[in-house]
Structure 1
């Protein structure tokens, strides 16, 4: 039993050493156009924790850089209401985008859960959208809630919602 444990540990070590892709000896050729000489410089590799494509969008003279999606979903609610929570940490600017993909109008409300402070609200009719960037939000929990505008029997609502961290 001891020999099989030692062999499995050795095999794991060999596997882990063999999986290492960083090689400090790798060099990239650099061509000097003036002297027509080729020199080799070390390749600098940085480990990536997450792959995130940064999007840039020009709006009225300033560039909006989107760093990551917090929420990106399409919702169909048969009961005529829905809620989506999200959190804000530190000094983050948050962009909220809502598109009513259904035919029924509904009321949306964005508010801070901790102090019930309402940041924005409104009514979206079929095919209408809402988009706004919130700057300097206090750290905490927030919620986007949706409710069918008309009273009576609950109707289906359908919408797309996206919440981004922007700079």
Structure 2
């Protein structure tokens, strides 16, 4: 009987150590990071959106955006691109007013896309780092509504190997 208790004890310890070292997650594709994305608005209030980290095989982890923001006048949402995959950006005007947007690399001020979206209009673009000058680092999707009216947008960024 003593032999069985020791074996069971050792097997339990090995199992617990393995779980701690390997970790366990319900999904291997994505998880929600602890650090939120903060969105700056003209009214100096911060809007928090949880960031998603892609963990697809062969793709460097990047902090991605996925959420709806509402603001007056201007605002932004940020994400981090780590390279190694196509960057897909989806922006939809979910409000009642037209607004301008820019997708910009924050360190060197490089604008990779800009335009205007009317209510219910959206854009879907895929950026390939080998075909464009798409540096790694922090990006911002900047919004501007010239009259200062309330605007609302849905933003989603994804990595696609």
- Please report the TM-score for the alignment, with normalisation by the length of structure 2: 0.61
CA distance in 1, matches of 2:97, 2:63: 27
Aligned length: 115
1:88 maps to what in 2? Answer: 81
SS for the counterpart of 2:12 is helix
Instruction: Give the match for residue 118 of structure 1.
Output: 111
Distance of 2:77 and 2:135 partners within structure 1: 18
Runs (5+) with no aligned partner, structure 2: 1-8, 17-21, 31-54, 57-61
Q: Secondary structure, in 3 states, of the residue corresponding to 1:20? A: helix
Residues 80 and 19 of structure 1: CA distance in aligned 2, closer, same or farther (over 3 Å): farther
Q: 2:28 aligns with which of 43, 51, 54?
A: 51
Match of 2:156 among 146, 156, 162: 162
RMSD: 3.2
Query: 1: distance between equivalents of 2:160 and 2:12?
Result: 39
Rg comparison, structure with higher value: 1
Contact 1:95–1:166 (Cα < 8 Å) also in 2: yes
- Runs of 4 or more, structure 1, over 3 Å off, are 46-50, 66-69
Deviation at 1:127, TM superposition (A): 0.2
Following superposition, the deviation at residue 48 of structure 1 comes to 6.2
How big is the shift at 1:111?
0.9
Provide the rounded CA distance (Å) in 1 between the counterparts of 2:64 and 2:12: 36
Residue matched to 1:101: 94
Check conservation: 1:69, 1:163, Cα contact below 8 A. no
Structure 1: where are the runs of 5+ without partners?
Answer: 1-13, 22-45, 54-65
